């Protein structure tokens, strides 16, 4: 953080796109967390106090695991497949969020940013560097919005019949965010094939 006259300064204009899209991504993620609580309460059939006791304050991974269990117990293959698809992408995006939050990001002049565990890795060889750009954040945020919408429709399947074809196409599109494999600059090459 920079200081001007002893007061915190705003980030420079070259960093503004990163902070705008990072903030939007985090906002979409928190909305998804909230929605997963709501959907669990509705799909589980449990009284609200019981549902709150089970998942109140829990991380998203535990909630999605329980949501998956509820849907599997109900046995509808199409709904099981839909939930599996949503949870798989939530897991991919959760890894990105984890890395951004716990490893930090270094913005670069060219508009890209690096996310690295170099300062916290157990060994130099285990250093990982994700090389990302704003589109990664935009795509992840867009996927989170679609996941949230699809979860809401999961909870209210009759509403799915009322959405426009344009929205149906958006929701059925392939996932936009794809996991970025990190560079491992200090890792020794393997002698044996994987």
Among 110, 125, 100, 111, residue whose Cα is nearest residue 183: 125
Give tens-digit pLDDT for 69-125: 999 999 889 999 999 999 999 999 999 999 999 998 888 878 889 999 999 999 999
Give bridge partners of residue 64 from the DSSP assignment: none
State the Cα–Cα distance between residues 29 and 90, nearest whole angstrom.
9
Stated pTM of the model: 0.88
State the Cα–Cα distance between residues 30 and 37, nearest whole angstrom.
11
- Cβ atoms of 193 and 140 within 8 Å: the answer is no
């Amino acid at each position: 953080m920079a200081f001007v006259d002893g007061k915190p300064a705003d980030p420079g204009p070259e960093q503004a796109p990163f902070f705008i899209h990072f903030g939007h991504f985090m906002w979409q993620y928190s909305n998804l967390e909230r929605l997963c609580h709501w959907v669990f309460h509705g799909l589980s059939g449990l009284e609200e106090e019981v549902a709150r006791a089970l998942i109140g304050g829990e991380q998203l991974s535990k909630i999605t695991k329980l949501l998956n269990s509820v849907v599997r117990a109900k046995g509808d293959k199409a709904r099981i497949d839909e939930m599996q698809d949503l949870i798989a992408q939530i897991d991919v995006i959760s890894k990105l969020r984890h890395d951004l939050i716990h490893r930090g990001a270094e913005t670069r002049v060219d508009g890209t940013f690096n996310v690295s565990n170099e300062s916290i890795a157990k060994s130099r060889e285990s250093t990982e560097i994700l090389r990302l750009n704003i589109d990664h954040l935009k795509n992840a945020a867009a996927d989170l919005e679609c996941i949230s919408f699809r979860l809401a429709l999961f909870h209210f399947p009759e509403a799915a019949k009322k959405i426009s074809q344009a929205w149906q196409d958006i929701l059925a599109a392939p996932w936009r965010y794809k996991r970025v494999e990190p560079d491992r600059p200090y890792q020794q090459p393997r002698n044996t094939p994987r």
